[in-house]
A = this chain, B = another copy of it.
């Protein structure tokens, strides 16, 4: 917070992929050193984005995909009537911009939630590279497929789950993602606003706020502003799955 008063020239402190702790998260390829070197060479490191800045906006020409290096960001689209719809939150090691591959320009925007640095991967160069690297090609397909899978999970959440199930699922999911990155799975910082959370989960801000309060009253979490402490992850996981009005009354569908 206090060390980055003066922006220094990033290009000088560029870090190679092979030395990046996130490397196996963003492109977990099984390639040799030589291939990795090639991959590394096309990747651009850009100056960090400040909170609120856009990596790209809706309609921007698609040129590159991005890997989050540090910080976090959100992607969002616009409904026809000008409403923002948060599509996802992205933590270090995650890729952004995959939904633009098909088209000419970005169908959604990416905005930094805090000071965030990313690796820019020009897509045409990546494709060229992949032409001669079957492993990379296959990896790309897997990454996109995984993204589809994640979206399907979110679809289930929005289609079936009640408000508390949604928030519980959200917290549990974040917890797992932080853990995977070596951060605490019990305690973390929510870089997104309540508004963004509600938007993402298909809930009103007020509902999110109330739920945080209720979860806290029930001893599930301790919430202090954007700081979250999960006191009972098991119970939260339970709520994320089975709960709501049906769980108590009777067998839901005979299973």
**Please, what's the 1-or-0 string for A77-102, where 1 marks a CB less than 8 Å from any CB in chain B?**
10111111101000000000011111
**Please, what's the 1-or-0 string for A130-147, where 1 marks a CB less than 8 Å from any CB in chain B?**
110010011011111111
A41 at the B interface (CB under 8 A): no
State the Cβ distance, A230 to closest chain B Cβ, in Å. Answer: 19
State the Cβ distance, A151 to closest chain B Cβ, in Å. Answer: 4
Q: Is the CB of B77 within 8 A of A142?
A: no
Chain B interface: which of A154-162, A173-181, A210-218?
Answer: A154-162
Instruction: Find the residue from A103, A107, A138, A155 having the highest chain B CB count within 10 A.
Output: A155
Interface residues on A, range: 35 or more
Q: Is the interface of A mostly helix, strand, loop or mixed?
A: helix
Among B77, B80, B240, point to the contact of A242 (Cβ < 8 A).
B80
A158's nearest neighbour on chain B, judged by CB, is B158
Q: Is the CB of A145 within 8 A of B145?
A: no
Query: With A155-B151, A156-B77, A159-B158 in contact, do A252 and B145 touch (Cβ < 8 Å)?
Result: no
Q: Is the CB of B156 within 8 A of A85?
A: yes
A59 at the B interface (CB under 8 A): no
Q: Is the CB of A241 within 8 A of B80?
A: yes
Q: Is the CB of B159 within 8 A of A242?
A: no
Task: Give the distance in Å from the alpha carbon of A214 to the alpha carbon of B13 in the complex.
Answer: 63
State the Cβ distance, A163 to closest chain B Cβ, in Å. Answer: 13
A247 at the B interface (CB under 8 A): yes
Among B81, B87, B154, B202, point to the contact of A247 (Cβ < 8 A).
B81
A11 at the B interface (CB under 8 A): no
A152 at the B interface (CB under 8 A): yes
The B-contacting residues of A in range 99-117, CB under 8 angstroms, are 99-103, 107-108
A191 at the B interface (CB under 8 A): no
A148 at the B interface (CB under 8 A): yes
Q: Is the CB of A79 within 8 A of B241?
A: yes
Q: Known pairs A87-B152, A144-B144, A160-B202. 4 more at Cβ < 8 A?
A: A98-B145, A130-B137, A144-B145, A144-B148
